[in-house]
Amino acid sequence: MQKITIAIDGYSSCGKSTLAKALAHKLNYSYIDTGAMYRAVTVYALRNGIIDENNNINVEKLIASLDNIEVTFVFNPQTHISDTYLNNENVEREIRTMQVSSIVSKVSSIKEVREKMVALQRKMGKSKGVILDGRDIGTNVFPKAELKLFMTADGDVRAHRRLTEYSSKGQYFTLEEVKHSLLERDTEDINRKENPLIKADDAIILDNSDISREEQLEFVLKLIADLQFISRQEQSQH
């Protein structure tokens, strides 16, 4: 069966990575968490004093440091998914903190950062059989992806999901703090100058406010099956 590229875009805490991981496991595809790549850059900037205590970024210093930043993914046999590595160090846990979440949109809005990460993403996904999730996959990274999804969900549902995620990792915040963080992230993602978060014209909207993970997985697998059926029909006509 011919492999395709699947681009999943959407807002924070809409389950993009959850769906992408499930699809990758089901289809035996590679999964690239593009958001994790920007989070890893943010970790580097925080560790190296490029971001101060008030979340101000020394943009020139960050740009000058890009050649010193290597982001890779390494398969974890225990979790059966890939962990994010920053310069050969596993930073999977560190990139998911509220501190990183509060500043990553500003880091990812820097043109030179995006250019480096997009080049890496295209290199990783050039062989197809890959699923990428992020903010600009279908509009910028892989505009010719065979399947594009745009994920969304009710704001309260998203906030509760993120709160649960933080709590499971020993990070405790109020629901209002999480809502505020998500709203800030949305505003920055939508309004940034470099490749903002927008729905690609040919993307299929997936609102998972009221459906289970199993239901959304079945929905997308049906889309893929339909695409492959159409492809076979077109090939048989030539």
Query: What's the pTM?
Result: 0.82
All domains of the chain, ordered by start, with CATH?
5-221 (3.40.50.300)
Q: Where are the alpha helices (DSSP H) in the chain?
A: 16-27, 34-47, 59-65, 98-101, 104-108, 111-125, 155-168, 175-191, 213-236
Select from 149, 150, 131 the least CA-distant residue to 31.
131
Tens digit of pLDDT per residue, the chain (238 long)?
A: 688 999 999 998 898 989 999 999 899 898 999 999 999 999 999 999 999 999 999 999 999 999 999 999 988 888 777 899 999 999 999 999 989 999 998 999 999 999 999 999 999 888 899 999 988 999 999 999 999 999 999 999 999 998 998 888 888 889 899 899 899 888 988 988 888 889 999 999 999 999 999 999 999 999 999 887 776 766 666 6
